[in-house]
Amino acid sequence: MSAFRESPPRILKFTSAIATLGVLSLAGCTAGPDFMKPESGLRVVELAPRPEHANVAPMSDAAVPSQWWLLFNDTLLAQLQSRAQAGNLDLQIAGERIEQSRAQLGIASSRLLPSVDANASYARERLSEHGKFAALGAPVGPGNFWQLGFDASWEIDLWGRAQRGREGAAATLQATIHDREAARVALSAEVARTYLQLRGTQAQLDIAQQNLTIAERTLGLAESRERNGVATRFETSSARAQLATIKATVPELTQQRNAQMNALALLLGEQPRALDVQLRQAMPLPSLPTHVPVGVSSELAHRRPDIQRAEAQLHAATAAIGVAKADFYPRIGLKGRIGVEAFESGDLSSWDSRVFSIGPTVYLPIFQGGRLTQRLALNESRQRTAAITYRHTVLRAWHEVDNALDAWAAQQRQHEDLLVSYEQNRQALRAAERGYEQGAADYLSVLTAQLNLLASQTRLNASATDATLTVVNLYKSLGGGWEAARLQSTPQASIDESPASSSDDPLVRVSPRSARSRAAP
């Protein structure tokens, strides 16, 4: 690159041209559609209580608490939730994905700015005596050649190609942030679910121990009656078989308990058996909340992070269309170089050693074999897919809420009936045992009463566990378990260049329809 002198008027004209191009880049049109806040496609519908749940007391309309598990008033559960938020490996992976997306946003944003590079070179050169330069009279002896300088380039974003790329990267960052919060919601629900199932299993083990005591007492009574000649071997054999049957349930329940403790340890990022000492001691199921706040249902789309993630992914897909459309237009840029070069290092400081060049560059796609057209069609299809995914996410959310509310209401009615069944079966066993002891009833009535009591206890315990699990599922469906304020402290990129519609989605209004139930004793 050769040096040349430029007169001040010409330099002023070129500077004016650069300023004009800069103004054009700022005022240039942005290719592709602007992102508009999507509509869910659902009409406003009142989900009134179903006829079979009409007598169930409604829930509280208070706001959904972010730490909803505190409603169970269980200190150990609260401690496990805190440890899971800090140690869960899936949550840490989601956090690293945010850092990756933030770095991608930085890369995309850098395309809006000029790039400047420094360079330096030294070469020992000799021209061929038979070359064209020697024929023109250039010296052919060996010599040094020194170069120092700066190179700068800037693509003027006339059509918003870089701007749309930055917009899409910012939306992708938002999607990864909400993806982490969706993982946080799932984690809090899974920790609570596993903990409650563990307590249910321990309660079932306690039921088995109680029935073992009853079976052993009945066996002793049968053996005593056989020795006295008032009972047959059938009764003692049946009593031993019943005792063995109940004993056989203990190893399975023990293995189930151990697996649940390990599952909790995995959720907390701990090694197997790390929680055995803390959790092995049996504790009753946490009491159900006296009230279950579900908040304003119209806020569901703003509360569930998976819906916000789907919206951000739609935003990114919309921005990708703008990038694809901008590829059809010319790319105009500026390139410049300034530096010094000389054959002697001592001459580099001389004013006469300076070199510079500056000028525009133009790239115009003429024939790409249909690549640009197909890329645009691909991005448009991806945008339509993202829009359908958003509507599907919203629809699935409302189904999950409705199903969770139904399950909660159904558990209240079922638990009440199972509690009556348990009380009646317990009284029936006492009556059968008294009759058998007095010789007024045969052993078959005792055995039947034992089986009925064991079955009713098992169903009642399962119902009590399921009742607590329906609370977990309800708050998971409502998007509980994370705080929007946490995102406000996270560096986020706002896209000022792309206007978004302020219209709200037509969300479904849900009427809460159930009240708390009593846990099994």
Task: State pLDDT tens for residues 458-501.
Answer: 888 888 899 899 999 989 998 888 776 566 544 443 333 333 33
> What is residue 58's predicted lDDT score, i.e. its pLDDT?
59
Q: Is the pLDDT of residue 520 over 70?
A: no
> What is residue 413's predicted lDDT score, i.e. its pLDDT?
76
Domain chopping of the chain, boundaries: 1-27+115-156+331-364, 31-112+157-330+365-485
pLDDT for 197-256, tens place per residue? 999 999 989 988 888 888 888 888 888 878 888 778 888 888 899 889 889 999 999 999
Residue pair 299/61 in contact (Cβ under 8 Å)? The answer is no
> What is residue 54's predicted lDDT score, i.e. its pLDDT?
59
Residue 444 three-state SS: helix
Q: Which residue has the higher pLDDT, 196 or 435?
A: 196
Q: Which residue has the higher pLDDT, 381 or 479?
A: 381
Q: Is the pLDDT of residue 167 over 50?
A: yes
Q: Is the pLDDT of residue 9 over 50?
A: no
Share the mean pLDDT of the chain.
82
Q: Is the pLDDT of residue 509 over 70?
A: no
Residue 180 three-state SS: helix
Residue pair 289/296 in contact (Cβ under 8 Å)? The answer is no
Take residue 358 and report the two structure tokens written for it.
């500056």
Q: pLDDT tier at 122 (50, 70, 90 boundaries)? A: very high
For domain 1-27+115-156+331-364, the question of CATH label 2.20.200.10 is answered with yes
Q: Is the pLDDT of residue 162 over 70?
A: yes
pLDDT for 65-85, tens place per residue? 889 999 999 999 999 999 999
Q: Which residue has the higher pLDDT, 300 or 228?
A: 228
CA dihedral 302, 306, 308, 309 (to 10 degrees): 170
Q: Is the pLDDT of residue 15 over 50?
A: no
Q: pLDDT tier at 179 (50, 70, 90 boundaries)? A: very high
Q: pLDDT tier at 104 (50, 70, 90 boundaries)? A: very high
Under CATH, which number does the domain 31-112+157-330+365-485 receive? 1.20.1600.10
CA dihedral 396, 397, 402, 404 (to 10 degrees): 110
Q: What is the mean pLDDT of residues 49-72?
A: 74
Percent of the chain with pLDDT over 70: 82
Q: Name 5's Cβ contacts closer than 8 Å, sequence gap at least 6.
A: none
Rounded-to-integer distance, Cα 42 and Cα 396, Å: 11
Identical fold at 1-27+115-156+331-364 and 31-112+157-330+365-485? no
> What is residue 53's predicted lDDT score, i.e. its pLDDT?
64
Strand-by-strand arrangement of the 115-125 sheet: 115-125, 143-156, 331-342, 354-363
